[in-house]
Every structure is written in structure tokens, then in C-alpha cells.
A and B are shown apart, each in its own frame.
Chain A
Amino acid sequence: MTDEEDMKNRLKVLRAERDWSQAELAGRLDVSRQAVNAIETGKYDPSLPLAFRIGRLFERPIEEIFDDEHVG
């Protein structure tokens, strides 16, 4: 599904802070719930446009959400 090195991210934490379900976040990002789950668990790295959408939604720069220095 993804490359050997999956990025870590804070999506689950940010979602929990807003008390959103995965379905809620998926609807706001225009993706499936499976996509949100796959990103949160590090099984799928989002495309750049989707990463920007996530950043805009949480009003944070991408590098605050996705960390490419601590790969799994």
C-alpha cells in the first residue's frame, strides 16, 4: 500500500481534540473513512493536495501534522 517507510502523523490526536469521528473527518476532507483510518495508522501516505487539505482543515502547517523524520 505504501512505501517501506511510513510517515508518522498527528491526525488522530487533532481529530480527537475536535471530538470528530473518522467519518466526520472523512466527510470534511472528501475522502473515504478507510482513507482516514489508513492515514492515521500510517498505512497510507496522503498525496500532497490531500496533505494540504488536512493542513488547512486543522489550520496548521503540514510539517506540524506529518513528521518525516520518525519513520516507522
Chain B
Amino acid sequence: MMNMSAEPDDWGARRLEEREATRRKVRWDLVGGALLVPVAIVLVDAMTRGFAPRAGGRPVWMVIALAIGMVVVIGYAAWRTARDEDELQRRITVNSLAAVGGASVLLNLAADNLHELVHYELLRHHIFLATLVIGFAAYGWQRWRS
């Protein structure tokens, strides 16, 4: 069919290509930012207290800064990525997060009861890892199906 407007016939494909290039750039910027935050925190500590190895583990401020920094970076990356997604991708992400949340509630519920019988210190940690695996599996399955 003829294109009656002055726009080239493949403007849609070009637009899609540009959008995906922007998304790739944003993704790499976010990866860079995520790596920069912990490096910057460790560097600040080293510059204020020296580079020599010390006994006694990490200082309290660094533990807090790393925890807050991680939440901020991951939260910002999730928001920034979700903003650029289309409705199908957003639905896949939301379904995957729902799978993580649902699995977390169920597994923690089971763990609360099992804890009386099984005194396994790493149980919570393994539940956390299991919910992540479930989330990635849900994401991969949906991507594959679509």
C-alpha cells in the first residue's frame, strides 16, 4: 500500500530501532551506576581511613551506605526500565514480581512452622534465593511463551 504522507515507508522500523538503541544505552548506564556506587563507597572509606588492611570488619556507616545505596540503585533501575517498557513487557515483569511475592509468602509461612523442627540457620537465605529463581523462571517462561 502506498504511503500518502511525507514520511518514509520504514519510519516505524527506524523508530523501533532508535528506541531499542536508547534502551540499550540506558541499561548500560544503569549497570555502570550499579557498579559505581559500591566502588565509590569503598573508595571513600579507603581514602578516609587508609588503604591498609584492618581487623574488625566493615565500619557501620559503610554497611548502612551499601544497604541504602543498593536499594536506591536497584529501585531506580527498576523504575527507569519499567518506564520504557511496553504493556506486554510490563505485564510480564508484574507477573514475575507477583510470582516472587507469592512464593515468598508461602515459603516463609512454611518456614515459620518448620523452624520449630529444623534449626537450619540458612533457611531464610535459601528461601530468598528460591524466590529469585522462581521469579526468573516465571519471567523466562512468559518471554518464551510470548
Contacts and interface: CB of A to CB of B under 8 A. Distances in A.
A21 B12 CA distance: 9
B88 A44 contact: yes
Interface residues of A, number: 26
B146 A28 contact: no
A47 B13 contact: no
Interface string B131-146: 0000000000011011
A35 B85 CA distance: 11
A34 B87 contact: no
A31 interface: yes
Nearest to A32: B86
Interface of B: 1, 10-17, 19, 86-89, 91-92, 142-143, 145-146
Given A17-B1, A18-B1, A33 B88 contact: no
Nearest to B20: A32
Interface string A9-50: 000000001111101111111111111011000011011001
Given A21-B13, A37-B146, A44-B146, A30 B1 contact: no
B86 A30 contact: yes
A18 B145 CA distance: 27
Contact of A1 (B11, B13, B146): B146
Given A37-B146, A38-B146, A47 B16 contact: no
A34 B92 CA distance: 12
Contacts of A25: 12
A28 B12 contact: yes
B15, B16, B89: which has the most chain A beta carbons within 10 Å? B16
A43 B11 CA distance: 26
A24 B13 contact: yes
Contacts of A38: 88, 146
B12 A20 contact: yes
27 contacts: A1-B91, A1-B142, A1-B146, A17-B1, A19-B1, A23-B17, A24-B10, A24-B16, A26-B12, A27-B11, A27-B12, A27-B13, A27-B15, A27-B17, A27-B19, A28-B11, A30-B15, A30-B86, A31-B86, A31-B88, A32-B88, A32-B89, A33-B16, A34-B89, A35-B86, A38-B146, A43-B145
